[in-house]
């Protein structure tokens, strides 16, 4: 979920990183400069001003709405995010989400991944040296919000920093998630499955014998 508000209240609990004077670009359009708070619960950008003056809106992002985060070096150093949500703001002159903005909203429509709108965000700090700390805080926050319903598809590939860098040198680090921190959650689930498979393959007789003994005792 993404919450946009005209009111701002600084987070007080679970703050992983606070980065003041952070510029935000939404689909390449500058929204303003504010403080970025990466917390254990959400990501908040607020308490800032628009490029033309006046207060900028406050944007709060829950981790399930963040599909990917990465360190971007070009065209300017930034913490890059992709939302599985089309963020519509009156401050922006046009919307460039992948969905059809002219189509009426209908919650009963069948979901189509190809038509799912997205939003690209770029958080640009005052100093490039802050990017790694921002990325690390984001990774930590998403790891706290795994998706319990997510099941790893053996044919599905998740991006890590090295794999993304080879595909596009524009990004130095990247983590992709299906929901909240699904990349990390799926990786742990895959490792557990592999351990279970090895256990069943190498010691299946011992495993079944132990199970039979338990049934007889009952």
In the prediction, which pLDDT does 116 show? 66
What class does CATH assign to 2-147+154-217?
mainly beta
Which pLDDT belongs to residue 88?
85
Confidence of residue 172 (pLDDT cuts 50, 70, 90): low
Q: What is the pLDDT of residue 108?
A: 45
pLDDT band at 171, cuts 50/70/90? low
Q: Give the pLDDT score at 207.
A: 38
Is cis: bond before 75, omega within 30 of 0? yes
d(CA 1, CA 60): 8
Sign, CA torsion 108/113/115/118:
positive
Packed helices 182-217 and 131-143: angle between N→C axes, nearest 10 degrees: 30
Q: What is the pTM of this model?
A: 0.64
b/e sequence 102-137, b meaning 16+ C-beta within 10 Å: eeeeeeeeeeeeeeebbbbbbbbbeeeebbeebbeb
216 has a pLDDT exceeding 50: no
The count of C-alpha atoms lying within 13 angstroms of the C-alpha of 210, restricted to the half-sphere facing its C-beta, is: 6
- 26/20 Cα distance (integer angstroms): 18
């Amino acid at each position: 979920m993404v919450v946009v508000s005209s009111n701002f209240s600084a987070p007080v609990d679970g703050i992983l990183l606070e980065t003041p004077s952070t510029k935000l670009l939404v689909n390449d359009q500058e929204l303003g400069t504010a403080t970025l708070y990466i917390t254990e619960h959400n990501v908040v950008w607020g308490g800032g001003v628009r490029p033309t003056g006046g207060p900028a809106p406050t944007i709060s992002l829950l981790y399930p709405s963040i599909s990917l985060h990465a360190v971007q070096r070009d065209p300017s150093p930034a913490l890059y995010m992709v939302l599985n949500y089309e963020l519509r703001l009156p401050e922006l002159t046009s919307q460039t989400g992948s969905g059809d903005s002219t189509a009426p909203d209908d919650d009963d429509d069948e979901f189509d991944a190809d038509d799912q709108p997205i939003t690209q965000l770029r958080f640009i700090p005052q100093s490039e040296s802050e990017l790694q700390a921002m990325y690390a805080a984001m990774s930590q926050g998403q790891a706290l919000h795994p998706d319990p319903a997510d099941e790893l598809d053996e044919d599905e590939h998740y991006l890590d920093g090295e794999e993304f860098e080879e595909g596009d040198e524009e990004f130095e680090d990247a983590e992709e998630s299906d929901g909240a921190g699904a990349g990390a959650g799926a990786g742990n689930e895959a490792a557990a499955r592999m351990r279970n498979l090895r256990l069943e393959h190498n010691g299946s007789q011992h495993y079944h014998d132990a199970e039979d003994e338990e049934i007889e005792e009952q």
